[in-house]
Structure 1
Amino acid sequence: MRSPASPEEVDSWLRSHGWHPDLHNRVEADRLIDARVRDSARQDFPMAPWGAMREFVSRYAGLEFPAPLAPERVFVADPTLGYEGDAEDITELSAEVGRKLFPVGYEFGESGIVLMDDLGRFFYLHHTGPYFLGENEAHALSSLMRGDQDEVDDYCV
């Protein structure tokens, strides 16, 4: 994976699509997360959210972020988007990386699920397999902006 975009580049990308640092849509984030919890239980692979994950979704819920060089790829911080059976796939990836995972968004165009682990790292579950987006929110947003991913193998237990 190439080095991340500068904080200024990422900030400009986010702001150009309606984001600002004081944005916290907690009501919408809780609604989306609670729907995902119910859906994962319905799929018999229950997932449980945590504070930092809820905070991430609340900062970006309701906004769409098209990738500058590939505008058909749009990141949306909506954990409810996915596919039937995805809770099992997320549970399997969670076991591979040895950490709790929860969806925090989705990427239209590529139909990939963006996941956060309980260490604050980000992963990308795509139909071609799982990928790593970054060690933290800043790196993950840069990866989503640029379309960068890394092989997940280096992050498995």
Structure 2
Amino acid sequence: MTHAATVRPWLEEHGWHPGRDVRDRVGEHVAFRLRDAERQGFPLTPSAAALGFLYSYGLLRLPYRAASEIALVVRPDVGYEGDAEDFAELGANLRRPVFPVGYETSELGIVLVDDLGRLFYQHCTGPYFLGHDAYEAFARRLSGSTLRDAEDFHA
């Protein structure tokens, strides 16, 4: 079974559809994140991959089946003081820019996308790799797969 066969019905159940584009509604959230990162002293630049993710999935609340009270909320403007430094460190280790695209409601871990479209998870215990693309990341979270340490992807 492909990731799409597992993930697409779940996405559609929660408001996503092919061709969905919320760039006009998500722009203010991106602008807020950019201002906040600048204020923290660690400016961010959203890649085309991160913006594409936000335009397609932005503003959705995507609950995981195994624990429906836990969800991915696709909004880049939720974070914590000092998070921009954590993102800069992850980006430096990957040698790729990363940009926050959402958070998980369970522990407010931040989901980030790099310029290759890979997804990472910044948790209080450190950064983790979610998937090479959105569908792989969604499938891993839906299945409850163990997260891989982001160190495995350092340049």
Category of TM-score, reference length = shorter chain:
over 0.9
Contact 1:29 1:54 in 2 (8 A): no
Which stretch shifts more, 147-156 or 35-44?
Answer: 147-156
Give the corresponding residue for 1:105: 102
Is residue 2:38 matched to residue 1:41? Answer: yes
Residue 70 of structure 1: SS of its match in structure 2?
A: coil
**What TM-score, normalized to structure 1?**
0.92
**2:5 & 2:69 partners in 1: Cα distance?**
23
Give the corresponding residue for 1:51: 48
1:133 corresponds to which of 127, 130, 134: 130
Identity %: 44
Give the corresponding residue for 2:112: 115
Partner letter of residue 44 of structure 1? G
Is residue 2:71 matched to residue 1:74? Answer: yes
Give the corresponding residue for 1:89: 86
Number of aligned positions between the proteins: 154
CA deviation map 1:38-77 (0-9, x unaligned) = 1100111000112221121011122101100011221011
**1:50 & 1:156 partners in 2: Cα distance?**
18
Partner letter of residue 10 of structure 1? V
**1:147 & 1:83 partners in 2: Cα distance?**
25
Deviation at 1:121, TM superposition (A): 0.8
Deviation at 1:144, TM superposition (A): 3.0
Which stretch shifts more, 138-147 or 29-38?
Answer: 138-147
Partner letter of residue 109 of structure 2? G
Contact 2:49 2:113 in 1 (8 A): no
1:23 corresponds to which of 20, 38, 44: 20
Contact 1:5 1:142 in 2 (8 A): no
Q: Which runs of 5+ in 1 are unaligned?
A: none
Q: Which runs of 5+ in 2 are unaligned?
A: none
> Which structure has greater strand proportion?
1
Partner letter of residue 81 of structure 1? V
Deviation at 1:140, TM superposition (A): 1.5
2:149 corresponds to which of 137, 148, 151: 151
**1:29 & 1:145 partners in 2: Cα distance?**
24
Segments ≥4 residues shifted beyond 2 Å? 143-148
**2:119 & 2:3 partners in 1: Cα distance?**
18
